[in-house]
Amino acid sequence: MIESDGLRVGRSAPDHIRQMRVLISAERLRQRVEELAAQIDADFKDETPVLIGLLKGSFIFLADLCRALTVPHLVDFMAIGAYGGGTSPSGAVRLLKDLSVNITGRSVLIVEDIIDSGLTLAYIRRLLLARQPKRLAIVTLLDKKERRQTDLPIEYVGFEIGAGFVVGYGLDLAERYRHLPDINELELLDEEEMTTSA
Ligand code: IMP
Ligand code: MG
């Protein structure tokens, strides 16, 4: 079992995780979400944007962000899955759940948990732009900027982080750890250590 800063990590963590450490505390997340909401309030004044959460990773960020906003807005979700299980080189994804709101002529704000290569979001962005929204902006809580493989305009970024794998606040490793209140960085065992510890 992993003892990580007293967090509720669970009894049977996968054995390839060596350690977890808090990268961004719940308190810093709360403050930053307030700041992002204030910026979005100002930029979308006089509009009623549709917030589109990309499931599942963004559900906690979206829940906090929408409650920090004062502009009227709608909330909708899209669920996407990668073909095969990996991300395709084009970022093409399978649409598991489409929007229930029509976004043509509306202001839209995509709400994402983390952007890595940027391929998934570039694909979603093209898909949504084809529906001719009045305006389309992106807010991501986390940005692994150095990993970007495509040019992507991102209007709002919570935190720029390094290339390490993070979990918590909605983000998962194989569907685990979404409930952790902080963003935690995982330190994974390398293959040699895994064979010796097996
Ligand atoms: P990309 O930008 O197309 O490479 O993929 C971004 C997606 O990969 C995110 O929406 C997450 O689902 C996932 N992802 C990337 N990095 C992490 C991480 O550190 N923790 C959890 N999920 C991640
Ligand atoms: Mg995601």
**Residue 116: active-site member:** yes
Looking from the CA of residue 117, the nearest atom of ligand 1 is 4
For the chain, give the percent of residues with pLDDT over 90.
76
Pocket of ligand 1 (CB under 6 A): 57, 87, 91, 113-121, 165-167, 171
Does residue 125 contact residue 92 with C-beta atoms inside 8 Å?
A: no
Catalytic residue among 41, 76, 116, 172: 116
The per-residue pLDDT for range 120-160, each reduced to its tens digit, is: 999 999 999 999 999 999 999 999 999 999 999 999 999 99
Closest residue to atom 11 of ligand 1, CA basis? 114
To the nearest whole number, what is the mean pLDDT of the chain?
Answer: 89
pLDDT for res 195? 61
Across the range 161-176, mean pLDDT stands at 96
Ligand 2 mean position, distance from CA 58 (Å):
7
How far is the C-alpha of 111 from the C-alpha of 53, rounded, in Å?
Answer: 5
